[in-house]
Amino acid sequence: MTDAASSPGVSQPGPVKPPLRDRLPIVSHLRRSVGLQRTMLVIGLVILVVFLLAAVFAPLLAPYGFAQQSAGGVKFGTQQPPNATNLLGTTVSGFDVLSRTIWGAQTALLAIVCAILFSIFLGIFLGLFSGYFGGWLDRTLVVVCDAIYAFPSLLLAIVMSIVISRGQSTLWGGILATAIAITVVFVPQYFRVIRAEVVRVKAEPFVESARVIGVPTGRILVRHVLRNSTRSLPVVITLNASEALLTMAGLGFLGFGIEATAAAEWGYDLNRAVADVASGIWWTAIPPGVAIVLVVLGVTLVGESLNDLSDPRLRTRRRARSVPASVTPAQVRTSGEAASEGGIS
């Protein structure tokens, strides 16, 4: 009896491609995570979701405006302890601490998004062309990126703040100063990640076949090389996000950040609260400080989890603990390699 699968003329079904929702970076990592890795990833995602909700819905969540000093014709007063009107008290300038903490999430989100967008597009563009074409362009860009590592991001941000806004930062002036400084510092990281992947992918047989049959270079770069060279980007993006937040907070703390009447910014509020701590006034410093720590912690937890789950060796060990004893390690490695190759289109 002849098997149907081996009969001539019967087409073999190809591998089933997982649905799009299972191939998204965060969702796919969450489905593969177990134990401590899943706990870290879930905690980080919860913190980031709360941060995003606070930033997006700040006008609805904050009881007052970020620069509001009175309500109903009655001034708040300065350095007032937590009370019914001001749930977390007031600052030395008479601003509501809770409102400025919530509005500060919006400023932080804008700085993070701008820094990531600037860095990722420039880094991918340079890494793609450098890795694919090579030659003198590749050597020049590698040397330049190595030299950029010598620039401290905070010092560069201070210079940018002075150049852009002359030390009196508006909302977008402070955000652009931070974004430009982070872009200059983080472009080498995106460049190195993308370049290394492009150098590997361009030697694959499917890229060589595309060249042979005359596929245009632009289509090869975008459709074949770039699509298979961006798997490590989520990890670098999380590092970029936390660095952007810390740089903006550092600018504000040193007095080069955004003015209080232009926007709420956690680093500026910490700067104004330094003298309060010595006087026993805790409520002006703890909320913005805790906000910075929590957001950086959430981004770091997500980044570390993505880094661990992107390592094929860790995935293989995790599968080896979960498979039955009758399954050999060679079968585990084979299934792990097949799963990794299935994610590459």
pLDDT for 280-300, tens place per residue?
888 888 999 999 999 999 998
Distance CA 342, CA 345 (A): 7
Please enumerate, as own/partner, the contacts of 196-202 that have beta carbons within 8 Å and a separation of 24 or more.
Answer: 196/131, 197/131, 197/228, 197/229, 197/230, 197/231, 197/232, 198/127, 198/128, 198/130, 198/131, 198/132, 198/225, 198/226, 198/229, 199/131, 200/229, 201/225, 201/228, 201/229, 202/131, 202/132
Q: Which tens digits make up the pLDDT trace of 206-220?
A: 888 888 888 888 888
Q: What is the CA radius of gyration of the chain?
A: 25
Distance CA 325, CA 323 (A): 7
What is the model's pLDDT at position 345? 41
99-157 pLDDT per residue, tens: 999 999 999 999 889 888 888 888 888 888 888 888 888 888 888 888 887 777 788 77
Beta strands in the chain (DSSP E): 70-71, 74-75
User: Helix, strand, or coil here: 12?
Assistant: coil
Q: What is the pLDDT of residues 75-112, one digit of tens each?
A: 888 888 888 888 888 888 889 999 999 999 999 999 88
